[in-house]
A and B are shown apart, each in its own frame.
Chain A
Amino acid sequence: MKSVFIRTTINGKTYELDVRPNMTLLDFLRDELGLTGTKRGCEVGECGACTVLMNGQAVNSCLILVPQIDGQEILTVEGLAEGEKLHPLQESFLDHDAVHCGFCTPGMLMSAKDLLDHTPSPSEEETRAAISGNLCRCSGYQQIVDAIRETEDVRSQKSK
């Protein structure tokens, strides 16, 4: 099996390296780069725990082969905060007690970011649809929906 050369941007940092092609993006992030914020759940694209953004769109990193990120831009949960300053979504999740066991949280945050980037003032229904690919095993969905809809940027959009 020949390795494959890729050039990719992950959380704003450029990587140029040879990768084994029979590895998923999820395994690459966790095992090769140590970015363990992205969680390994079902590995068949049903739980959403491994959700990351690829070119700004929410995707299941368990369903992408690592050579497929060549030339693409990836954002993981580790790329949300700026230094010590949490992303407004993360602040809102804390404010709303939207984190229970926390396992679904990274994936929820990434699906929520995709939603808010494209729909600044989502309805409750739009919000629920946006996280329909993310399972919360603690079933704390209402707090998560509230947290997304009442994120700081969203509120300022609403008041405009």
Chain B
Amino acid sequence: MKPFEYHSPRSLPEACALLAEIGADARILAGGTDVLVEMRKPGSSSSKAVVDITRISSLKGIEESGDEIVIRPLTTHAEILRSKIVEQYAPLLKSAVAGIGSPQIRNRGTVGGNIMNAAACADTVPPLIALNAKIKLLSSRGDRTVELSEFFLKPYATVAQRDEILVEIRFPKLPSSARSSFIKLGRRNALSIARLSVAAIMVKTEAGVVNDARIVTGAAFPKWQRVPEAEHVLLGQKPSRTLFDEAGNKVSEALISFTGRRWSTEYKEPVIAVLVRRALEACK
């Protein structure tokens, strides 16, 4: 690993001041499961400084805040997996982190790192977008709140500036009538990178009619997004296999209209439709 100056600020003001001072040459270190791999790649761009934010205790934890859930970015995947709050109000997020990496990775990797690294296969992102999550970014210039669905530009690129730290992830609690799911297609169960994934949320009225449907795919589109064409198929209807198939086909169509036909389309076109149907079936 190339030499660098190591900093471990104990507070957010200290971290922001450091990042303002060092500028674009600083690299923020949280769980390290992506950053340390990247830093050791041959020919990787060197960083003059590493700002290890793991000592900032205000960046850890999960809490309820009225009708919302707040997850601090240094919360590890293992902590999300054990959280009763997540289990009750955002079970699809729990399903998603259960499949991230391995026990060792889940003990170190953080939800904030998963978002900021912005890999197309980041498993926490489709559920969080389905949950209508907002994130707060902080720098010495102040803070701003961004809709997570607006945060990503393309894989590994976001609207965050180099000196901004993710300090909060916030989303509304799912109502008790909501059903949700996350399905990931990988080459094996452990340590697999999502080839395709689907997060789904469905809320029905007492009469059994869908009044809220959210479908977000991972690793499919150039960036993560809900698929309104598919969601509209479900709204105002009673859930059925035919309807789920139709929603799946809409996602498939949307995928092709975005990416065009390429070598992987022959596979992804039918497979994403089936994954969407299965994700919706799991919401019944």
Q: Which residues of B approach A to under 8 Å, CB–CB? A: 1-6, 8, 29, 31-33, 36-37, 40, 50, 52, 54, 78, 101-105, 107-108, 189-191
Contact = CB atoms under 8 A, between A and B. Distances in A.
Contacts of A23: 1
A46 B102 CA distance: 8
A1 B3 contact: yes
A59 B54 CA distance: 15
B6 A45 contact: no
28 contacts: A2-B6, A20-B3, A21-B6, A22-B1, A22-B2, A44-B37, A45-B33, A45-B102, A46-B191, A60-B33, A60-B104, A60-B105, A63-B31, A63-B33, A63-B36, A63-B108, A64-B32, A65-B29, A67-B6, A67-B52, A68-B32, A111-B103, A111-B104, A114-B103, A132-B189, A133-B101, A133-B102, A133-B191
A1 B4 contact: yes
Nearest to B48: A1
Contacts of B107: 54, 57-59
Nearest to A131: B103
Q: Tell which of B6, B29, B32 has the most Cβ of chain A within 10 Å.
A: B6
A106 interface: no
Determine the interface band of chain A, counting residues with CB < 8 A from chain B: 20 to 34
Nearest to A62: B36
B163 to A, nearest CB: 21
A86 interface: no
B3 A22 contact: yes
Contacts of B105: 45, 60, 63, 133
A63 B100 CA distance: 16
A24 B29 CA distance: 13
B6 A4 contact: yes
Contacts of A130: 103
Contacts, number: 88
Given A65-B29, A67-B52, A68-B32, A133 B104 contact: yes
B32 A65 contact: yes
Given A20-B3, A63-B31, A63-B105, 8 more contacts: A44-B37, A45-B104, A45-B105, A64-B108, A111-B104, A132-B102, A132-B190, A133-B101
Contacts of A114: 103
A48 B104 contact: yes
B188 to A, nearest CB: 9
Nearest to B78: A57
Contact of A2 (B1, B5, B78, B104): B5
B239 to A, nearest CB: 31
Interface in A1-34: 1-2, 4, 20-24
Contacts of A68: 32, 52, 54
Contacts of A64: 32, 36, 108
B271 to A, nearest CB: 24
Nearest to B52: A68
A65 B6 contact: yes
B53 to A, nearest CB: 11
A45 B103 contact: no
A51 B104 contact: yes
A68 B29 CA distance: 10
Contacts of B33: 45, 60, 63
Contacts of B52: 65, 67-68
A3 to B, nearest CB: 9
A52 to B, nearest CB: 9
B123 to A, nearest CB: 15
B101 A63 contact: no
A73 interface: no
Nearest to B190: A132
